[in-house]
Each structure stands twice: as structure tokens, then as C-alpha cells.
Amino acid sequence: MSDDPRPPERLSNLPSRLLSLLALHADRQVGERLAVVGARKWHYAVLAVLAASGPLSQADLSRGTGIYRSDMVALINELTGQGLVERVPDVTDRRRNMITITSPGRRRLRRLDKIIGAVQDNLLAPLTTSEREQLIQLLARLADHHAVS
Amino acid sequence: MSDDPRPPERLSNLPSRLLSLLALHADRQVGERLAVVGARKWHYAVLAVLAASGPLSQADLSRGTGIYRSDMVALINELTGQGLVERVPDVTDRRRNMITITSPGRRRLRRLDKIIGAVQDNLLAPLTTSEREQLIQLLARLADHHAVS
DNA sequence: CGTATATCAGTCAGACTGAAATAG
DNA sequence: CCTATTTCAGTCGGACTGATATAC
């Protein structure tokens, strides 16, 4: 009877809306694929930052990944539980825990890298290689300008 | 002491991550600006679709905006409470409520349009006009391909 | 009958706040 | 004394599920 009403262009071409819809979709894909191996996207972020920057305090990890310090606690618990990182008290500053990635952690990171890479390919499927680069560059400039981690 | 660790490029240039971070930022801006006049972004979506498509059932509105049918109930309650839309039972199909935008609703829509437009300008500030068009086009193609409303 | 609509109650993960304990 | 770190408890809006009553 009633055709599915398409939103008017003012709505469907609204940048903030496009970002929201696509982010939701992309996050869902990432989440589903990672769930298959018992991981979440924040696991990936933590492992990637640790692999690149070396051992970090939880506060630094928090700033490096954009994850809230409060949420970092449970996250590190999960990762230590899986033996992917180690949490050891910092002797030079006894408020801190230093978090270190383990060898299984590095292996896990490589695994997650492949999964997440595949999701990106899927996400960007309709775009050519140079369009993908353009898009990433434009998004990165926006992110940088607004200082979103 | 410890420099804020920047995430590695594999992370900071990850399309799904860029989308998430920017969507969060954009949604926050939109939310804050709309809150000033007592509105939320879903109000805008509903009013915009109604203005463009004419009276719709809640189910059609739901499909047109991407808002869940369950959440649509409370949303329409809010909008009727502000006199921006009217909810009248459909005589031809008594399961349905037909939702109609009122004159105050149209005025409100124009107001919200300006606010949201200003937020977009802010969001896209670092880009040139043609870069903005490129970005919107690329995002719209992705949204279309993945059929995210 | 099976399907669609409007509604309600409730779940669930995410982002975020506030405060305490500890240490610099 | 003020600030930073880790941790815990809890809030809050958003997306989503399941079930019900009603009507096609």
C-alpha cells in the first residue's frame, strides 16, 4: 500500500546523519566479527596502542585509545584474563600499573588486524582505491581538527 | 612526564574508527545545540520526513526515519505535546495513526534546520566547498550501498 | 489464518560522572 | 595542599527485543 517513504535529501545528505548511520553499521560489523573470536573493538585498540608505544600506564592507555579510565579497568581485567597483556605495578610511581602486551597478545593483535581489515574492505566495497584514500584523508582531517582522539 | 601516546596509524586511519569518533562528536554537537531549544535530533528527522512526504502512519514514519517503532510512540507523544504534529486514527485502516505536521511544526522545522545547518558548517569547517561535496557524496554512496536508511 | 500496527516493558552495551583510596 | 592514578558504583540516553491487543 504505502511505499516506504525515503527521507528527503536535506535529511539523507546530512553529514552528521550519514556519519551516525555509517558508524552504527560499521561498529556492528566490527562487533559481530570480533565476537566470533571472543574479542571487542576496544581489545583491538588497546593491543594496537601497546604494540606501537610499548608498556603504558592505564591512564596513558586511556588517553591513547579514547577509552574512559573507568572502563579501562574492566577491559584490562578481560585482557589479562586471556593472557594478552600483563598488569604490573610501576615501582617508580606506585600509583600506576604498567600494562605490557604479551606474545599471545601480539599474535592476537595480528589476528584481529586481519578481521578488522576485512570489515573495512567490506565497508568501503563500493569505492575505488583512490576514493577510499580520499575518504580516509577527509575523515582524518575532520577528526584531527576536532581533536577527537 | 609521559607524552600522550598518539594511536598508531593503523588505528587512527581506520575508517570504522574515524566514523565512530566523528559520529559521536557530531551527535554530541547536534544534541547540545538542539537541547537549547528543547529538541532532539529525532524530532528533526520526524518533522523533516513529514514535511516532505505528507501525513504518514507511525510505521511508515519509522521506516522513513530509521527510528524504532517502539521508540516512535514516545517520540510522537513528545511532539504532540508540543503541538508540532497531530496524531489521528486512520479511518480506512483502524490499526493506524496518521501523523500530520502542524503549522507550528513547520515553523519549528525551519528553526531546527538553521541550527543543524550551523552544526554541519562547524563540523565541516576545515574542508573546502568541493571537499565537503566529495565527502557527502562518498558517505552517501556507502550509506546507500549498505542500505542504512 | 498469517501479517501489520501501535504500545509497553524491559534488556544491553557505551559513554560518561562522582567519589574514594592511594600516592606523587 | 593540590594533583594524578586506579578503582568502584552508578547514571543516562540509544538501539534493540519480546509480547500483547487489535485490526487487516
pLDDT of residue B19: 98
Per the DSSP assignment, residues forming a β-bridge with B57 are B98
Q: How far apart are CA B87 and CA B91, in angstroms?
A: 12
* Partner-chain contact B22 A25, CB within 8 Å: no
List the B97 CA – D5 C1' distance (angstroms).
Answer: 55
pLDDT of residue A3: 64
List the B133 CA – C7 C1' distance (angstroms).
Answer: 41
Assess contact for B23 and A20: CB atoms under 8 A.
yes
Question: By C-alpha distance, which of A45, A114, A110 is closest to A78?
Answer: A45
Q: What type of residue sits at position B135? A: L
List the B113 CA – D22 C1' distance (angstroms).
Answer: 37
Q: Does strand C come within 7 Å of the CB of B57? A: yes
pLDDT of residue A149: 78
Please give the full DSSP string across B23-87, using - where no structure is assigned: HHHHHHHHHHHHHHTT--HHHHHHHHHHHHH-SEEHHHHHHHHT--HHHHHHHHHHHHHTTSEEE
Below-50 pLDDT ranges, chain A: 1-2
Question: By C-alpha distance, which of B27, B42, B115 is closest to A15?
Answer: B27
pTM for the full model? Answer: 0.94
Rg of chain B over Cα atoms, rounded to whole angstroms, equals: 19
Chain B residue numbers touching A145 (CB-CB < 8 A)? 125-126
pLDDT of residue B8: 82
Phi, psi of A88 (to 5 degrees): -125, 135
* Partner-chain contact B52 A12, CB within 8 Å: no
Q: What is the grid cell recorded at B34?
A: 538542539
Q: How far apart are CA A97 and CA A56, in angstroms?
A: 8
Closest partner CB to B139 (pick from A22, A66, A113): A22
Below-70 pLDDT ranges, chain B: 1-3
Q: What is the grid cell recorded at B133?
A: 561535496
Instruction: Give the C-alpha distances (Å, rounded to integers) separating A61 from A42, A58, B17.
Output: 11, 5, 16
pLDDT of residue A6: 76
Give the CA diameter of chain A: 71
CA atoms within 13 A on the CB side of A122: 16
Q: How far apart are CA A132 and CA B38, in angstroms?
A: 38
Q: How far apart are CA B57 and CA B33, in angstroms?
A: 29
Which of A6, A13, A18, A25 is best to mutate for the B interface (most B CBs within 10 A)?
A: A18
Mind listing the pLDDT tens digit for each residue in A80-98?
999 999 999 999 999 999 9
pLDDT of residue A126: 97
Phi, psi of A38 (to 5 degrees): 75, 25
Q: How far apart are CA A73 and CA A16, in angstroms?
A: 31
Q: What is the grid cell recorded at A119?
A: 570489515
* Partner-chain contact B57 A19, CB within 8 Å: no
Chain B residue numbers touching A138 (CB-CB < 8 A)? 127, 131, 134-135, 138
